[in-house]
Amino acid sequence: MKTRITELFGIEHPIIQGGMHHVGLAELAAAVSNAGGLGLITGLTQRTPELLAREIARCREMTDKPFGVNLTFLPSVNPPDYPGYVKAIIEGGVKVVETAGNNPQKWLPALKEAGIKVIHKCTSVRHALKAEAIGCDAISVDGFECGGHPGEDDIPNFILLPRAAEELKIPFVASGGMADGRSLVAALALGAEGINMGTRFIATQEAPVHDNVKQAIVAASELDTRLVMRPLRNTERVLTNPATERLLQKERELGAAITFADIAPEVAGVYPRIMHDGDMDAGVWSCGMVAGLINDVPTVQQLISGIMDQAHALINERLAGLAR
Ligand SMILES: Cc1cc2nc3c(=O)[nH]c(=O)nc-3n(C[C@H](O)[C@H](O)[C@H](O)COP(=O)(O)O)c2cc1C
């Protein structure tokens, strides 16, 4: 399938694996790229720029296809060494960067000069338009359904995607709630030129996380996510578990007086214990409503070719039949 997204990134299928903290390691990024999609290493999961450089080199050993790096700009008192990470990306010869979390303007000149294509992930049309205006090449439009940070506007993709299509000139992919060929065809119908998936890619054989994480996603239904940190205007969609319930209880008790320090035990530094050790109640972790559509743990190749087969069948058979 050819779209402006496959052309822009030099990939076979319009399917991107979004950056995921402690999930987006070289193994997953390479598997997605080898299957014809675009895999992304999550930059900040590597504690230093030197480690990111090593991860990029490791990924290159596993694939000769294009892959990218996610750079998430976090609200932070002590910001990570962003100049160092950008340098590691450029020197590592990476040709695609997914930015997220904040306006990437400051980093665009260096990335563009190195011939890097930038896809900015955001949750509103106004942020997408801003990204287009400052020179981003594409947008990942992240709807309210998404795992991770859906923003504060709460607009689901059935509205957000056609709104983005009405306003944007640069190509965009649909992110949040995407799982299969039905998602891809629906996204294309709404004006997107591909899909970005997070949660679905965690429940794959190659995702370098503990099997407990994959099984938790398979077991979850669409009713099993919660929004946390809304009072801090840092809303995150997470899987419900005892830590999520503790955090929500604190939010109810402390109301507007809540600070990050109050919830640190549930959120700070918990990802390695969950993703690596499989300690599922160690804290809160991002998960999309799309868990309700995930019932298996295929290889990445099976997942991506299954999506493309289903999409082609839907377009050529069901939809063509209905339009006759
Ligand atoms: C466990 C997990 C960790 C994530 N970490 C990041 C991250 O570090 N940076 C980022 O930009 N997005 C992150 N995301 C968001 C994904 O890249 C993607 O936008 C989102 O999962 C799409 O929604 P879906 O889960 O419904 O597919 C994360 C998502 C999950 C599920």
pLDDT at site 124: 98
Question: Cβ(38)–Cβ(68) under 8 Å?
Answer: yes
Cα separation, 225 vs 222, whole angstroms: 7
As for ligand 1, residues whose beta carbon falls within 6 Å of it are 18-21, 23, 42, 70, 72, 100, 121, 142, 145-148, 175-178, 196-200, 285-288, 290
- From the CA of 42, give the closest atom in ligand 1: 8
Say how many Å lie between the CA of residue 194 and the centre of ligand 1: 16
Is residue 24 classed as helix, strand or coil in its secondary structure? coil
Band (pLDDT 50/70/90 cuts) for residue 12 is very high
How far is the centre of ligand 1, averaged over its atoms, from the C-alpha of 5 (Å)?
Answer: 19
Residue 246, CB-side half-sphere exposure with 13 Å CA sphere: 13
Q: Is the pLDDT of residue 153 over 90?
A: yes
DSSP string, 34-96: HTTSBEEEEGGGSSSHHHHHHHHHHHHHH-SS-EEEEEE----SS---HHHHHHHHHHTT--E
pLDDT value of position 78: 85
The DSSP secondary-structure symbol of 286 reads B
User: Once rounded to an integer, what is the mean pLDDT over residues 261-272?
Assistant: 95
Going by C-alpha positions, the residue among 109, 106, 152, 103 that lies closest to residue 130 is 103
- Distances in Å between the Cα of 100 and the Cα atoms of 170, 249, 307 are 17, 29, 25
Give the tens place of pLDDT for each residue, 76-118: 778 999 999 999 999 999 999 999 999 999 999 999 999 999 9
Ligand 1 centroid–CA 133 distance in Å is 24
246 burial class (0-12, 13-18, 19+ CB within 10 angstroms)? middle
Give CATH superfamily name and number for 2-207.
Answer: Aldolase class I (3.20.20.70)
Q: What confidence tier does 309 reach under pLDDT thresholds 50, 70, 90?
A: very high
At 17 the pLDDT is 98
Give the Å distance between the CA of 7 and the centre of ligand 1. Answer: 24
In 3D, which of 263, 227, 260, 259 has the Cα closest to residue 151? Answer: 227
Question: Would you list the domain boundaries of the chain?
Answer: 2-207, 220-285
Q: pLDDT, tens digit, for every residue of 207-260?
A: 999 999 999 999 999 999 999 999 999 999 999 999 999 999 999 999 999 999
Q: Are 247 and 232 in contact (CB under 8 A)?
A: no
Report the alpha-carbon distance of residue 245 to residue 225 in Å, rounded.
11
Mean pLDDT of the chain: 97
Q: Are 33 and 65 in contact (CB under 8 A)?
A: yes
Taking every pair of Cα atoms in the chain, the longest distance, rounded to a whole number of angstroms, is: 60
Q: How far apart are CA 39 and CA 155, in angstroms?
A: 26
Read off the pLDDT of residues 181-216 as tens digits, 9 standing for 90 and up.
999 999 999 999 999 999 999 999 999 999 999 999
